[in-house]
Amino acid sequence: MNLPQDLSMIPLGRLNGALVKLGIAPVSLKSAAVSTIYHQIQNGAITLDDVKQSAVFDINAKQATDDFNHQAVALLSTSVSSLQDRTDANTDALMELSADNKSIDARLGTIAESMIRNARLADSKIDRLSEQLKSATHTDISTAVNQAVSEAFRAFKQVNSIEVIEEIAQSLPTTQLARAGDIFPETFYRSGDDVIDFADMIVMTWGDPEAPAIVDDYVFNPEHLHQALIALDDPLPENTWLAGERGTGKTEFVSQISARLGRKLYRVNFDEAMERADFIGANIIENGSVVWKAGVLAQAIQHQGSIILLDEVGFARAQSLAVLHSVCERSPHRAVVIAETGGRIPVSSFVAFFACDNSNGHGDTSGNFAGVREQNTAFLDRFGFSLRFEYLPADQETGLITKRSGLSFDKAEILVRFANIAREKAQAGLLTQPPSLRQLFAWARAIQKGLPVRVAYQNTIVNKFPADVQAELDAIYALQINEGFFK
């Protein structure tokens, strides 16, 4: 049984009836209703038969139209994906139908031809469409298909031509379900005496054409990855805070999750000078008129399934972050209100927030990160999970440097040993901050390209630190680096 597929065949009104029965507010987006009920069935709160027998609940048409401006594209994507899933899943079933079902084949062929002729959206992907329901007639199948297509296109076709619809459909992501073990390189870790293996965890992939590129050699912390995938496994995701020293892979962690799940990544880089208008939007003069132009955050929250990275959030001023309270709230009503226009932009389903900072949100007590602010408790409370990032184990860090730079493993191992001693001294307060992994990459590449090890050390390490710590670094260099070995 393909539960998401079975649910997608049920009319939205009946799905909303099931939501009301569960005490959950009805929705106007069918994909959101399917996802929510899927999780409720998985949790044992309701059965598929209960859903099918639920009373139809007709959500207010005007509200659906108002919400459409922000959800039409997402609904269109889900409908196309749902139709494709039903086509693929039932090809075998259609071939098994006997000659007694020829009339059914003819009816389904008529439906497919009508969809291609009137919508020109399905293209050659919809060759044949069937569904064999245990408790429904074949007329019910036709009705369900027609209702899903009509609901997706009714309002959209009023304001867009077929050509526009076709262009949008080609650029939309297509969601699929997959095993975590088929997407991520390592899906197990130890917790006490137990070995946790989440390879069979079902995750949703989006196939967004604007997702980041995959970096094959990125090393995931499996425990952090497991927690992040749990955070993302909901139409209303949990927000996640990533804390740790610079160069521990926080930003790349979010980027590579986005890459492997095929989700578009929006990165908002905060600094002391950033104003609210810089990331939300502002009025500008265009062709002699004042118009409001959306910033990166206002654009990102409208892109269904996107991941938004609030990078170096500890440097942002409190007044700049105040607007994030409403969009980071784990609520179906999360949205941002545009002061200049009075308009309201809701956050699309499956949009997830990650925040990266050198601290855990409570400021920097080491003195190594000047300018990092303590965050408002109300803002921190909107992040359900907080992950602490550390440097890679020495053997993994050495292997990564060797792979990225081409430097031999034994030489890279010496650079890592130098860095780890410096990191220990930084923790003891003898250094303001230790060399980062990025600096080790640069040092190794310079050596591999023929630069003398001491010159490369000066250019990539020492010159980046205050003069008062050079003596400490030079002492570590003298003890750990045999220059003759590198010649």
Task: Give the list of residues 6+ apart from residue 91 with CB closer than 8 angstroms, or none.
Answer: 128
Asked if the structure places residue 182 within a domain, the reply is no
- CB–CB of 316/373 below 8 Å? yes
For residue 360, the model assigns a pLDDT of 58
Residue where one domain finishes, among candidates 116, 144, 168:
168
Strand partners of residue 215? none
Strand-strand pairing, 265-269 and 307-311: parallel
CB of 381 closer than 8 Å to CB of 325: no
Tokens matching residue 189: 């870790």
As given in the structure block, the two tokens for residue 2 are 């393909």
Provide the pLDDT for residue 469.
83
Does residue 191 lie within any of the structural domains? no
pLDDT at residue 60, as a whole number: 57
Under 8 Å between Cβ of 261 and 203: yes
The helix/strand/coil state of 64 is: helix
Within this chain, do residues 368 and 430 fall inside the same structural domain, yes or no?
Answer: no
Does the residue 470 lie in any domain?
Answer: yes
pLDDT for res 262: 96
Range of the domain at 355: 231-389
Kindly report the number of other CB atoms within 10 A of residue 166's CB atom: 14
Asked if residues 304 and 77 have their Cβ atoms less than 8 Å apart, the reply is yes
330 and 434 share a domain?
no
The length of the chain in residues reads 487
130 in the same domain as 58 = yes
Pair (120, 56) in one structural domain: yes
AA identity, residue 224 = H
Q: Is residue 441 part of a domain?
A: yes
One domain, residues 155 and 302? no
Give residue 35's pLDDT: 85
Specify the pLDDT at position 29: 81
Same domain? For 451 and 384 the reply is no
Last residue of a domain, one of 139, 168, 197: 168
Provide the CATH number for the domain around residue 324.
Answer: 3.40.50.300
Nearest alpha carbon to residue 266 among 311, 224, 231: 311
**What average pLDDT values come out for the chain (487 residues) when binned by 10 residues?**
80 86 83 86 89 79 44 46 53 47 54 55 47 44 54 56 57 81 95 95 95 93 96 95 88 96 93 76 85 88 94 77 86 89 90 86 48 68 92 93 95 95 85 85 96 95 85 92 91
- What is the reported pLDDT for 34? 86
- At residue 169, the pLDDT reads 53
Q: What is the pLDDT of residue 81?
A: 54
Residue 90 in tokens: 């039932």
**For residue 225, is it within any domain?**
no
Asked if residue 335 belongs to a domain, the reply is: yes
Is residue 352 within 8 A of residue 239, CB to CB? The reply is yes
Within-domain flag for 40: yes
Q: Can you tell me which residue has the tokens 């009714």? A: 154
Split into its structural domains, the chain has a count of 3
Q: Which of 156, 104, 160, 102 is nearest to 130 (CA)?
A: 104
Q: How far is CA 33 from the centre of its chain?
A: 20
Q: Which residue has the tokens 């009503």?
A: 333
Question: CA angle 130-135-136, nearest 5°?
Answer: 50
Closest of 81, 124, 69 to residue 262, by C-alpha? 81
Report the distance separating Cα 226 and Cα 424, nearest Å. 29
Are both 345 and 437 inside the same structural domain? no
The residues near 250 (Cβ < 8 Å, ≥ 6 apart) are 242, 243, 244, 356, 389
Distances, alpha carbon 265 to alpha carbons 67, 213, 310, 451, in Å: 24, 11, 11, 37
457 is a domain residue: yes
Q: How many CB atoms lie within 10 A of CB 60?
A: 10
User: Is residue 353 domain-shared with residue 415, that is, in the same domain?
Assistant: no
End residue of a domain, out of 168, 187, 204: 168
461 and 415 inside one domain: yes
d(CA 313, CA 318): 10
Q: Are both 425 and 376 inside the same structural domain?
A: no
Which residue type is seen at 375? Q
Residues 258 and 373 in one domain: yes
Indicate if the alpha-carbon torsion angle 409, 411, 417, 419 is positive or negative: negative
Calpha distance 324→295 (Å, rounded): 13
Q: Is 183 left (phi over 0), alpha (psi -120 to 50) or beta?
A: alpha
Report d(CA 26, CA 58) in Å as an integer.
9
d(CA 185, CA 454) in angstroms, rounded, equals 37
Same domain, 59 and 159: yes
